[in-house]
Structure 1
Amino acid sequence: MTTQYWLVKSEPEAYAWTDLVRDGRTDWTGVRNYQARNHLKSMQPGDRVFFYASVTTKAVLGLAEVSRSFFPDKTANEEGWVAVEIKPLKPLRLPVTLEQIKAEPSLKDTALLRQSRLSVMPLTAAEFKKISKLGGL
């Protein structure tokens, strides 16, 4: 199976990159957007995931991996919502800011810029490679 690439967003006050590193893995719960839910359902173990700190930080901070494909979200009050499990792999040597992403022509079509409110989004292999390079991976 081909590795897919994703970006997940979290407010640092709710769940930060340092929380994921401390915990060693987490269930990515609380997604209540139909498009983001469909993305969660497409995630497979081994897929690479950038962790983006939204609101205050506005930067990609780390690289994680899907460690368990979708399952029912225990935090949901209604059926149909799902979660995946992710685990941290490594921090980026340099945070990749939203400003850097906006300034990079090859990233102009990334979902982060086109659908900024979406909390789980796919990245192309080229977008993943460019953000990795900007982040010093």
Structure 2
Amino acid sequence: MKAEPAECSVDDALAAPHATVPWTGVRNYQARNFMRDTMRVGDGVLFYHSSCAEPGIVGLAQVASTPYPDPTQFDPASPYHDPKAVPESPRWLLVDVQVLQKTRNLTLPELRADPQLADMLLLKRGNRLSITPVAPAHWRHIRSLLSD
């Protein structure tokens, strides 16, 4: 799950009550569908900083809630406001994410250089999704890289 550290960094999440934050602002249907259809409470999350000087995986987290409507879609003052969304029929969902551990920054160049991650969805050219599934083999390999 990608976050812009200027908006919600791994440190911000760790400082939140129970190290848990709502994953607001997802405005891509495919990413929303990953949250809605495949994420379950307790699933592992790679906390990834994007749109920053050194993008990369900076923490390990877990899904901490079932999906529920993202309140920012209804707030006209929010940059994530969606005028077509109404409380009776929300368009956008979120899950809560609990950070379990801050890690070293496993940078994007390191990820790209690792042949065992060559087919990881996050690393596919043109991928702009903020949420992508991680294959079990990739998860295990990244965990081993972070424990070195």
Aligned residue number for residue 20 of structure 2: 25
Query: Which structure is larger by alpha-carbon Rg, 1 or 2?
Result: 2
For this pair of structures, how many residues does the alignment match? 129
**SS across alignment from 2:42:** coil
TM (norm. structure 2) is: 0.83
Please point out which of 97, 115, 118 is paired with 1:108.
118
Supply the distance in 1 between the matched residues of 2:95 and 2:120 (Cα, whole angstroms): 22
- Structure with the larger helix share: 2
2:44 counterpart of 1:48: yes
Supply the distance in 1 between the matched residues of 2:115 and 2:12 (Cα, whole angstroms): 32
Supply the distance in 1 between the matched residues of 2:55 and 2:31 (Cα, whole angstroms): 19
Identity of aligned residues (%): 36
Q: Which amino acid aligns with 1:109?
A: D
RMSD across aligned positions (CA): 1.2
2:102 counterpart of 1:91: yes
**SS across alignment from 1:86:** strand
Aligned residue number for residue 64 of structure 2: 67
Q: Which amino acid aligns with 1:43?
A: M
The structure showing larger relative contact order (alpha-carbon pairs under 8 Å, at least 6 residues apart) is 1
TM (norm. structure 1) is: 0.89
Please point out which of 27, 30, 35 is paired with 2:30.
35
Supply the distance in 2 between the matched residues of 1:19 and 1:50 (Cα, whole angstroms): 16
Supply the distance in 2 between the matched residues of 1:108 and 1:70 (Cα, whole angstroms): 30
The Cα of 1:116 is off from its aligned counterpart by 3.0
Q: Which runs of 5+ in 1 are unaligned?
A: 1-7
